[in-house]
Amino acid sequence: MSNLYIGLMSGTSLDGIDAAIVDFSQAKPQLVASYFEPYEKKFKEQLFLLTQPGSNEIDRMGRMDRILGERFAYATLKLLAKSGLPKSAIRAIGSHGQALRHRPVGAHAFTLQITDPNTLVSITGIPTVSDFRRADVAQGGQGAPLAPGFHQVLFADPQEVRVVLNLGGIANITVLDPRSPVTGFDTGPANRLLDDWIHVCLGKSHDEGGAFAQQGSVNEALLAHFLEEPYFSLPPPKSTGRECFDLNWLYQKLDAFSGAQLAPEVVQATLASLTAQSVAQAIKQAAPDAACVIVCGGGVHNHHLMACLKTALPGRVVGSSAQWGFDPDWMEAAAFAWLAKRRLENQPGNIPSVTGAKKAVVLGGIWGG
């Protein structure tokens, strides 16, 4: 029986679909093939509108659920064509889908991901596991982050304390300490605010290499003002989506900041520093004796951000997960391939010491197959 699984992921950056084939037949999971399907500007805008409260949401969401089901399916077919593998070689797809809301706190907390798995099955013919987060939320957990179990399989070391840092729209860390259970949480923004601000100022989708941030100098008072956000000092478990750290948040902070008129590149530099400082603060608290920080997600390509992180975390090795043998761009998609495997094996996918759930549970449902 094949041990090849496909993971499909679209994160809070709304940049596009990450699709990966992962082989679980060896001691460590191996990336076999990968494919990225970018969202065109107009589509990204439509999707973005659904992440905000608005009118006639149910109709728009219902249609988008089907559209994303098709788009995820076609990304899967392109991935298969690229790999040269027949669909019969794949055991199952793990599809995270697209998050539209994440409200993990309070009575009737909920999290909502769309991307119709029925449509995925009907086009690809491959059994699909989806709806990964809600079983954890039903157990009182945050429903996030879910990648730490996969990080543990890939990177846990018997001697060394290691941190895995994912720099997506939001940043999350996993602490792998051989002496204690895995922990992890969302530290706050990673690329989201950087993308939003450069888009407002220069119309670009992202700050390539961090060049725009590099042109400005950090405004320390503004940075301190950003860091006063209560989320940063909340104890874990905690997670956040597009709800907290978005343009509205940034405008509110800028409005409340009574500093002199700030140049756009100064705000960009200060936002890059906010990501680096909030991540470093979380790592120093949660893993004071970490030997290394293994970085994945799109933020690894932002050289300026990586340099800021290295400065903020002296005495630790901070580098791309490629240095530890796994391509940083496909870690999250691969994590959902792993979660699909866990589901098919009826094994728990969540880690209660991470999400705060009452117990470890099997995550997701199976469509087709």
Ligand X SMILES: Nc1ncnc2c1ncn2[C@@H]1O[C@H](COP(=O)(O)OP(=O)(O)O)[C@@H](O)[C@H]1O
Task: Pick one of 140, 209, 264, 368: the residue that binds ligand X (CB under 6 A).
Answer: 209
The token duo for 131 is 């709806």
Q: Pick the stretch among 11-19, 84-92, 132-140, 219-227 that binds ligand X (CB under 6 A).
A: 11-19
Q: How many CB atoms sit inside 10 A of residue 272's CB?
A: 28
* CA–CA separation, 146 and 339 (whole Å): 8
Q: Within 13 Å of residue 1, how many CA atoms lie on the same side as its CB?
A: 6
Does position 241 interact with ligand X (CB under 6 A)? The reply is: no
The token duo for 325 is 């043998």
Cis preceding-peptide flag for 288 (omega within 30 of 0): no
Residues 289-328 that bind ligand X (CB under 6 A): 297-299, 301-302
Task: Pick one of 157, 208, 220, 228: the residue that binds ligand X (CB under 6 A).
Answer: 208
Does position 102 interact with ligand X (CB under 6 A)? The reply is: no
- Cβ 259 to ligand X shortest distance, Å: 26
Cross-strand pairs, 37: 17
Residue 168 burial (C-beta neighbours within 10 Å; 0-12, 13-18, 19+): buried
Q: Pick the stretch among 54-62, 201-209, 221-229, 273-281 that binds ligand X (CB under 6 A).
A: 201-209
* CA–CA separation, 83 and 32 (whole Å): 8
207 binds, among Mg ion, ligand X, none (CB under 5 to 8 A by kind): ligand X
265 binds, among ligand X, Mg ion, none (CB under 5 to 8 A by kind): none
Does position 94 interact with ligand X (CB under 6 A)? The reply is: no
* CA–CA separation, 276 and 311 (whole Å): 9
Does position 268 interact with ligand X (CB under 6 A)? The reply is: no
Residue ranges in contact with Mg ion by CB under 5 A: 11, 13, 15
CB of 19 within 8 A of CB of 37?
Answer: yes
235: three-class secondary structure by DSSP? coil
State the number of binding residues for ligand X (CB under 6 A): 20
Tell me the per-residue interface mask from 166 to 195 with ligand X, x by CB under 6 A, - otherwise: --xx---------------------x--xx
Binding site for ligand X (CB under 6 A): 11-13, 15, 168-169, 191, 194-195, 206-210, 297-299, 301-302, 332
